[in-house]
Structure 1
Amino acid sequence: MMELLWLLLPVAAASGWWAAKRSDARQDVTLAERTPGYFSGLNYLLNEQPDKAIDVFIKMLEVDSDTVETHLALGNLFRRRGEVDRAIRIHQNLIARPTLNREQRAQALLELGQDYMKAGLLDRAESLFTELGEMNMFQSQALGNLLTIYQEEKDWDKCLQIAKRLEQLTNRSLRKECAHFYCELAEEAQFRKDLNKASQLLKKAQIADEGCVRATILQGEIEVLNGANKNALRTFRQVERQDPSYLSEVLPAIIDCHMALGQRAELIKYLHQLHQKHHTVSCVLALTGFIQKDEDDAAAIQFLANFLHEHPNLAGLDRMVELSLKSGKGDAQESLGILQQILQKLMEKRPAYQCLSCGFTAKTLHWHCPSCKTWGSIKPLQEVDEN
């Protein structure tokens, strides 16, 4: 309550000042006679009736060219505090005044639209931002908010339309965002079993952003569904060039394609190349499996131990304990079993992905960060040695 009191006291003071300034009464009239509403509003505040206090102060603060900014500031304060209903009331009251000029009305519409967005009233917000676009007022802000709304509504066609208009208006590149919008449409087409349409959309995504890993992965998956393992293999391998941090996402598919094509030796050679270049845990674990089959458990353990000595990693340690359990006996085997249980609990608690923009962590891959709403910023936590 005291926080709200301190918020509204400056508005009350301004209200009293403006009322006194515009009064035609004599100079010796007391403040209470000039501005009775001032004390009425304070009384409502002290009695914890903030809504009535707001009504009083709004009525006292006549809307004209000198006080519009005060109304806007008060509404913004309430919206930032999360008191959206009060912000809406203030901005609606402002728009209803006939004294506003065109620019002031447009600014009030923009603020009210943002109030509606905050309240989750997306249809109302969309209507106001569209009206601003028709007025040719505050277009970049209105389009930016419309883009946010259409992303929330998953209307990817409209997202593409708005993004292209924003690019023309602001000269800001939204190629990465557009690529993901095409990917979203491609996933919808793939869900409908329309693989040709999905491929066409993914080509547009790659034209928009040739570095879009998501488009590459989706295209490879479609080629696998079509039985074109050779093409899929070529597509999945492009991920290394685009962004090696996503190798763990495509490595199982790369292994499957090689094996389906009868290219086991080529696969092992390729895994060694990846290991030498990137030192990714996923490559090491895959190689460990082949060494175990081609040689023995001891060779696999030694290979893992050499890697872990330079690149400590929970997943690698868990695999080494698993291999060691086979040869362990008595108390040693029991201790290794306990160690493996502890390692698995530690890995269960550990996130697998993190947003490079805001630090958000997750167990599954999100192409659109749920926290900061950035596209393509979440990556696997690989513990890759970059040296």
Structure 2
Amino acid sequence: MPPDAFQLLWLLLPVAAASGWYIAARQYRTRHPRPPSSELNQAYFQGFNYLLNEQPDKAIDVFIRALEVDSDTVETHLALGNLFRRRGEVDRAIRIHQNIMARPSLKPDQRYQALLELAQDYQRSGLLDRAEALYHDLLEARRHVETALKSLVEIYEQEQEWNKAIEHARQLQSRCGIPTGDAIAHYFCELAEGALERGDRRQAREHLRQALRNDRDCVRASLLLGRMEQERENCRAAIRHYLQIEEQNPGLLPLALPSLEECHEHLGRLDEYEGYLRGAVERHGHPRIAHHLIDFLARRYGREQAMQSLPRLFRETHPGLVGAERLVSHLLERDGGRAGEELKEVHELLKTMLERRPAYRCERCGFEGKALHWQCPGCKRWNSMVPLDDGC
């Protein structure tokens, strides 16, 4: 029997027995002419029969039908609906919570709790319009405000309705005191990318300014602003945006380095770029910045010049697998056909290891990937993906 089924049955069996006593006592007090608990007892033994025949799902259904929904058993039904939703049996959860909502005798707190559970059922099953409507009902009643707002933001993210996501994220901040500036900044970046696809550069620029107002450390906004200026061949302005990334998040500076090099080359200022790269390596000791420096030196001065810088860079940055692969690659290119087969085999082994190795990891849930995601695909958190020192 699945563990969740055991959990359900442990929850239901004592409640069913207690409900039999409760209903019997209540009907006795009201002088009900029929033996009160016979139907419940029959259902109880029918459920046991299903258990003995290893049919737990049928046993659960019998026990659920046997329990009357009222103020004394509603918590049990809410718990059952929760368990079904967690098991992925959303249709069952919806039926239970709809059944609770249909009872006129519920206390207000119980009714709003059932309303929240039903909204979460709809959201889990993909019925987002229904879920959205119920969450708004909760907001109007000022019940479960934080959960309703978080869920609405999730829905609007999923539907890519960024303006609504901004509106409700701001409410989450003002009404519940939960910081949402970083998420709002990304919503504005999404709007900016949409405006760029439509060719509306003015609107895109305004969205990106709003992004930086909400989160001045928004690397994504600086990258997009830099790209926009670079496409206009306004390389000085592009450089200013790209250089801002070092202050925002030095670990993500390598994302801008190829574009920074292009801009400096366009302006004839490669000496300045080389000095900046060397300074960035000294300031942060980040292996990926050192890798860019090595490649830049190789392109500008040749492999020999790059090779001379490798020992010092290795000592300063601990470049790991990527650095080892670059070193062997440079040795192979320098030696050409004179390189030994053993060195070639080592190079192939290092490349294979790097192909399997992720470049980014989510700080919250541990999701790993080769590409940077501004929003983690695993936990849906914004700005949680960080570069691995050994990745590239």
Q: How far apart are residue 277 of structure 1 and its match?
A: 0.9
Find the aligned partners of 1:296 and 1:127 in 2 and give their Cα distance: 64
Find the aligned partners of 1:278 and 1:316 in 2 and give their Cα distance: 16
Q: Does 1:376 align with 2:383?
A: yes
The answer for the alignment partner of 2:32 in structure 1 is: none
Find the aligned partners of 1:73 and 1:45 in 2 and give their Cα distance: 21
Q: How far apart are residue 135 of structure 1 and its match?
A: 2.7
Q: Does 1:262 align with 2:274?
A: no
Q: How far apart are residue 264 of structure 1 and its match?
A: 1.4
> Which of 228, 235, 238 lines up with 2:234 in the alignment?
228
In the TM superposition, 1:109-188 aligns within 5 A as: 109-188=115-194
Instruction: Give the percent of matched residue pairs that are identical in Structure 1 and Structure 2.
Output: 44
Find the aligned partners of 1:295 and 1:187 in 2 and give their Cα distance: 38
The answer for the alignment partner of 2:323 in structure 1 is: 316
Q: Is the 8 A contact 1:220 1:232 kept in 2?
A: yes
Instruction: Name the SS for the 1:379 alignment partner.
Output: strand
Label 1:322 to 1:5 Cα distance change in 2 as closer, same or farther (>3 A).
closer
Instruction: Name the SS for the 2:256 alignment partner.
Output: helix
Instruction: Name the SS for the 2:237 alignment partner.
Output: helix
Find the aligned partners of 1:221 and 1:195 in 2 and give their Cα distance: 12
Write the deviation string for residues 193-250 of structure 1: whole angstroms up to 9, x where unpaired: 2111111000001001111111111111111122211100011000001110001100
Q: Is the 8 A contact 1:163 1:174 kept in 2?
A: yes
Q: What TM-score do you get using the length of structure 1 for normalisation?
A: 0.90
Q: How far apart are residue 33 of structure 1 and its match?
A: 7.6
Q: Does 1:283 align with 2:309?
A: no
The answer for the alignment partner of 2:345 in structure 1 is: 338
Instruction: Name the SS for the 2:383 alignment partner.
Output: coil
Write the deviation string for residues 104-134 of structure 1: whole angstroms up to 9, x where unpaired: 2211110011112222222221122122223
The answer for the alignment partner of 2:15 in structure 1 is: 14
Of the structure 1 ranges 328-337 and 357-366, higher mean CA displacement relative to structure 2 is found in: 328-337
> Which of 364, 374, 386 lines up with 1:367 in the alignment?
374
Unpaired runs of 5+ residues, structure 2, are 30-34
Number of equivalent positions: 382
Q: How far apart are residue 52 of structure 1 and its match?
A: 4.7
Of the structure 1 ranges 118-127 and 88-97, higher mean CA displacement relative to structure 2 is found in: 118-127
Q: Does 1:300 align with 2:306?
A: yes
Q: Does 1:75 align with 2:81?
A: yes
> Which of 49, 61, 65 lines up with 1:43 in the alignment?
49
Q: How far apart are residue 25 of structure 1 and its match?
A: 5.2
Of the structure 1 ranges 248-257 and 294-303, higher mean CA displacement relative to structure 2 is found in: 294-303
Q: How far apart are residue 301 of structure 1 and its match?
A: 1.2
Write the deviation string for residues 126-148 of structure 1: whole angstroms up to 9, x where unpaired: 12212222333222211111111
Write the deviation string for residues 51-93 of structure 1: whole angstroms up to 9, x where unpaired: 5544433343222221111111111122222322222221111
Amino acid of the structure 2 residue aligned with 1:150: Y
Find the aligned partners of 2:161 and 2:213 in 1 and give their Cα distance: 21
Label 1:314 to 1:211 Cα distance change in 2 as closer, same or farther (>3 A).
same
Instruction: Name the SS for the 2:361 alignment partner.
Output: strand
Q: Is the 8 A contact 2:321 2:390 kept in 1?
A: no
Find the aligned partners of 1:166 and 1:55 in 2 and give their Cα distance: 39
Label 1:268 to 1:10 Cα distance change in 2 as closer, same or farther (>3 A).
closer
Q: How far apart are residue 338 of structure 1 and its match?
A: 2.3
Q: What TM-score do you get using the length of structure 2 for normalisation?
A: 0.89
The Cα RMSD (Å) is 2.5
